[in-house]
Structure 1
Amino acid sequence: MKKARHENPGNGGFRLNRYLASCGLGSRRNVEILVTRGRVTINGVTITTPAARVSEGDLVEVDGMSVEPREKLYVLFNKPPGYVCSVRDTHNRTIFDILPAKYAKEGTFPVGRLDKMSEGLLILTNDGQLALGLTHPREGKEKTYDVLVSTPVGEHQLALLKKGTFFQGKRLRPARVLMLERKPRSRWIRFVLKEGVKREIRHITNAAGLQVERLVRVAIGKCWLETLKPGEWVETSKDELISKINQGGTI
């Protein structure tokens, strides 16, 4: 077999690490290990540079087996409480116990996880590039959550929620906080976040002396959860998903 240990990355096609990741062989970091160990060939030539390019019509093989990108999947799911967002978990039920087996098999993963007891709108995809775009802070995709707390919220507590808190040296502050009902003893609050930190809303509510009873993600960008029932999902296209998030839509 021919070998090319010092390939020119070139400018055409896809980067090899991105191509291999789209084939479901792992993260870009993991597939780079396959490349640097000489286990990948393009048209019979051993490639050791992850930045090498793959052009249309090229034959890419890993350990002598040809590989091709997986079909891209885009799923909107109404996560019920009591499920974790991992593919596998020895102690908890996962969302993939509900979803069709093909979604785990085809390498879909949640974009912006919800913790075990949180519920609501969740995007799953095996399109790493789209996932990165939706979660990168530069994109600023707002996420909206409706939260039921244990006791009625007064003006002082509402001010504390808007102020946010510090957790592990990081400032946690929602973009917006408002009461869903303008009536005495209301317990439903709406939070809008731009950058999600793990359990951010729970940390903020705890700092204000409130306990969360329900936490429901109701929107990602301008895509709102309306008719999809807990445990239900709908498969969509990339264009339709982006349109709902950026321009508006409901599921």
Structure 2
Amino acid sequence: MTEETQKSPQDGERIAKFLAHAGIASRRDAEKLIGEGRITVNGQTVRTPATKVTAADDIRFDGERVGGKAQIQLWRYHKPEGLVTTHKDPQGRATVFEALPPGLPRVVSIGRLDLNTEGLLLLTTDGGLARFLELPSTGWRRRYRVRAYGRATQSQLDRLKDGVTVEGVSYGPIEAVLDQVQGGNVWLTISIHEGKNREIRNVCRHLGLQVNRLIRLSYGPFQLGNLKRGEVEEVPRRQLVDQLGKKRAAELGLI
């Protein structure tokens, strides 16, 4: 019997949760790291995310010692297009985390922006906070500026308020405003709450529009504002607590 199976259910916390709080990855991505055999505990490769650990264990990611719970911090980052939102890309493409300015601690992203999407990406040291803010039940709206080739009317866009199903995928209510017609393109402002994979691109294609520029302007109460491409700015802790509410902030360990 190995050390990890000898531990009682009361000992420590699940390894995936520990890694998330240490800022290694979200719980979902931590489970992927475990499946890839990249996490060890006391010299043994972890085989299941149900493994319990404590701060006394020697926990390593790719051979590097993982510390305990990191101080919870949040940053606004202006992601340029051409970067993938992953810590390690199997295709060798440039990643967000390689492009971040020096001096930041290890961070995880709150949600993702695809390769050709630019704009606001929130980064945090805490996987628990990331998971909470990603949940549709949190209710935070994501707002985008969209340029797309083709034509659409406001009446077509208004029908998205009831949600839409595209190629078997159901999307919740979408707010879309036709801002401007420019040559063969239209400019739209689109707000969503779920943030499913490639949601805006897929819905626009359903309307006969081909997205050629996509910029996230806001995520919940946090705005892209005047951040320059590649620039990072920390969100003051008090502001984060105010936006979460004291009860939720306490549950997440912020206060």
Q: Which residue of 2 aligns with 1:249?
A: none
Query: In the TM superposition, what are the counterparts of 1:152-231 in structure 2 within 5 Å?
Result: 153-159=152-158, 161-162=160-161, 165-180=164-179, 187-231=186-230
- TM-score, structure 1 normalization: 0.71
Q: Which residue of 2 aligns with 1:45?
A: none
* Structure 2 residue matching 1:18: 3-state secondary structure: helix
* C-alpha spacing 1:187/1:60, structure 2 compared with 1 (3 Å): same
Displacement of 1:194: 1.0
Question: Per-residue displacement from partner, 1:105-149 (whole Å, max 9, x unpaired)?
Answer: x54222111111111110122311011101122212211112122
Structure 2 residue identity aligned to 1:144: R
* C-alpha spacing 1:243/1:117, structure 2 compared with 1 (3 Å): farther
* C-alpha spacing 1:207/1:35, structure 2 compared with 1 (3 Å): same
**Distance in 1, Cα, partners of 2:7 & 2:49:** 7
Displacement of 1:242: 5.0
Task: Give the aligned CA root-mean-square deviation in angstroms.
Answer: 4.0
Structure 1 residue identity aligned to 2:100: L
* Structure 2 residue matching 1:138: 3-state secondary structure: helix
Q: 1:35–1:49: 8 Å Cα contact kept in structure 2?
A: no
Displacement of 1:62: 4.1
**Distance in 2, Cα, partners of 1:100 & 1:211:** 33
5+ residue gaps in structure 1? 41-47, 247-251
Q: 1:220–1:245: 8 Å Cα contact kept in structure 2?
A: no
Q: Which residue of 1 aligns with 2:113?
A: 114
**Distance in 1, Cα, partners of 2:41 & 2:87:** 28
* C-alpha spacing 1:139/1:206, structure 2 compared with 1 (3 Å): same
- Aligned residue-pair number: 231
Q: Which residue of 1 aligns with 2:30?
A: 27
Structure 1 residue identity aligned to 2:96: I
Q: 2:158–2:175: 8 Å Cα contact kept in structure 1?
A: no
Are 1:95 and 2:96 matched, yes or no?
Answer: yes
**Distance in 2, Cα, partners of 1:195 & 1:4:** 37
Q: Which residue of 1 aligns with 2:83?
A: 83
Are 1:10 and 2:10 matched, yes or no?
Answer: yes
Identity within the alignment, %: 28
Q: 1:35–1:50: 8 Å Cα contact kept in structure 2?
A: no
Q: 1:59–1:66: 8 Å Cα contact kept in structure 2?
A: no
Q: Radius of gyration: which is bigger?
A: 1
Q: Which residue of 2 aligns with 1:140?
A: 139
Which region of structure 1 is more displaced relative to structure 2, 116-125 or 85-94? 85-94
Q: Which residue of 1 aligns with 2:58?
A: 61
* C-alpha spacing 1:71/1:8, structure 2 compared with 1 (3 Å): closer
Structure 2 residue identity aligned to 1:27: A
Displacement of 1:207: 1.3
* Structure 2 residue matching 1:9: 3-state secondary structure: coil
* Structure 2 residue matching 1:240: 3-state secondary structure: helix
Q: 2:141–2:220: 8 Å Cα contact kept in structure 1?
A: yes
Displacement of 1:208: 1.1
Displacement of 1:28: 4.8
**Distance in 2, Cα, partners of 1:113 & 1:60:** 31
* Structure 2 residue matching 1:226: 3-state secondary structure: coil
